[in-house]
Amino acid sequence: MKKITLFLSLILISVSNSQETIGLVYNDVNIDKYEGYTLFKATSDDNVYLIDNCGEVLNQWTFTANNSRNTYLLENGNILLSSGLEAMIKDWDDNVLWSINYQSTFGWRIHHDIEPLPNGNFLVLVRDSYTNTEMYNYGMDTAYTNPTFVIERIIEIEPVGTDSANIVWEWKMIDHIVQDFDNTKPNFGDVSNHPELYNINYDNGNGSNPIHANAIDYNPVLDQIAVSCRHLSEVFVIDHSTTTAEAAGHTGGTYGKGGDFLWRWGNPEAYNQGTITDRKLGRQHDIKWITDGPNAGKMSVFCNDGYGSNMTASSVHIIDQNDTNGVYSMSNGKFLPNDYFWSWDGTIMTEVMHAGAQCGYQVLPNGNSLINESDIGRITEITNTGEIAWVYIIPVNDGAVFDQFATPTGNGSFRAHRYPVDYPAFDNVTFNNTGIIENQNVISDDCVVALSVDDRTLTSLTFYPNPTKDMLRFSTQVVLDEIKVFDMSGKLLLNALNVNDISLKTLTNGLYLVEVTSEDRSQVVKVIKE
């Protein structure tokens, strides 16, 4: 008996021709999607949503901080949220477990991204500001006349109790600079011979904000941190195994280099090993290691300026860093690789993929990719051959839910992340199925989440009543071997053997999937419990 896994359509269409404008707007049932649940938050909205591949909400949280953008589902089922001013941990049921205000706790705000760590701490990006006079003492070219110069700090925060925190580790870019302007300063040197350091006199036309880090990621196997620097058009990796004192120097840690760059990529011109024509990245976002699947160990990035130079279209890339257990190689003075491992740019539902800011990119364990276009709130899954498999457009903004066929605005999302169905956070929790967010969606109506079913369906199958308050009955020409009831995430809730009916009385009201099996045939239907 052959088994297949696919997204079924109850009317067996291959691609919907619906003109839906929000929610699930495209779902190719002939392409295997990655089975998982997608977490997102519109930047201007207070709600965080976890949806399945049919656009059905499985759980929901609230976070009212202004301009909040960071949401990460932790393995213990809690969710970590952050804005520039506040951080919060909530449980699965939206109860606050811990919260702080960065300003009142530490005296500073964060910016852009955060990154949860396996030990329960999390990393944040903080701007580090100096006067031009201070920078002249570091060898800054005196032709620089802006009153301030802003670079980066990375800080590890340990949550304590319910409303406090400690700083347990810190790295500062100012400790890792080189310059060839003032030979009286101790950091004077040949920039091209020091790719492990930041050249403070490299001018990429961004004035007092030459770095503008916008993404941070952590590799627990290597104990390394990756950072995306938008205004350098570069990504870099540093050692997290250091102490704070070692992170301020050039020795120590697992890799023996203190807080110096272990690897950097995207723009060798920044360390005098190329020109603008050698640039591979441009204003990029969301650098991260790929954790599972055929590309595990490589890195992914969203390049806002496609291939480093195209300002009319964006691109996504997989990078093979050519490292050996976290040690990175160079060739002719430049860090490897010489080019991308895999790239994609193209159109999504007739629109060229393009965004000047933000955006995210996740390579999934099955080789597919999840792309988040922040400005238009569009989340897309593509295959490794570039086929569009699934498109979802966020239907909320500032507490309002758009009606279907409206043109959404203000629904942008900083990141979207898909978690596998076996992610530990989903153990021993109840999915709070509330249906789609928008008022209607025929593609979601026809969609069934991935279940392993037989490739031959039952004939003459009818079921009633639907909706039902209790009993669900099936009328078929054969005796049913088994009836299984799943929530919309695909989690098994009930089953019964050798019967043609089943009671749903113990279930909460909502939408469910019911799979019926007889001999070598099976079929899945949607049922409403009310």
Secondary structure class of 148 (helix, strand, coil): strand
Distance CA 218, CA 116 (A): 8
* pLDDT (0 to 100) of residue 476: 76
Partnered with residue 234 across adjacent β-strands are 229
pLDDT at 95 over 50: yes
Closest C-alpha among 76, 21, 70 to residue 48: 70
pLDDT at 350: 94
Cα→Cα distances 67→231, 410, 413, Å: 22, 12, 10
What was the pLDDT predicted at 449?
A: 75
Which domains, from first to last, does the chain contain?
456-529 (2.60.40.3080)
In the predicted structure, residue 173 carries a pLDDT above the cut 50: yes
Residue 468 has what pLDDT? Answer: 92
Structure tokens at 5: 């896994």
Stretch 110-119: mean pLDDT: 96
Task: Please provide the average confidence, as pLDDT, over all residues in the chain.
Answer: 92
- Inform me whether the pLDDT recorded for 37 exceeds 90: yes
- pLDDT (tens digit, 9 = 90+) per residue, 469-484? 999 998 877 778 899 9
pTM above 0.85, yes or no: yes
Q: How far apart are CA 25 and CA 22, in angstroms?
A: 6
pLDDT at 89 over 50: yes
Averaged pLDDT, 68-83: 95
Q: What is the CA radius of gyration of the chain?
A: 26
Q: Is 500 left (phi over 0), alpha (psi -120 to 50) or beta?
A: alpha
pLDDT per residue as tens digits for the range 423-446: 999 998 889 889 999 999 999 988
Tens-place pLDDT, residues 341-365: 999 999 999 999 999 899 999 999 9
The whole-number pLDDT of residue 26 equals: 97
% of the chain with per-residue pLDDT over 70: 94
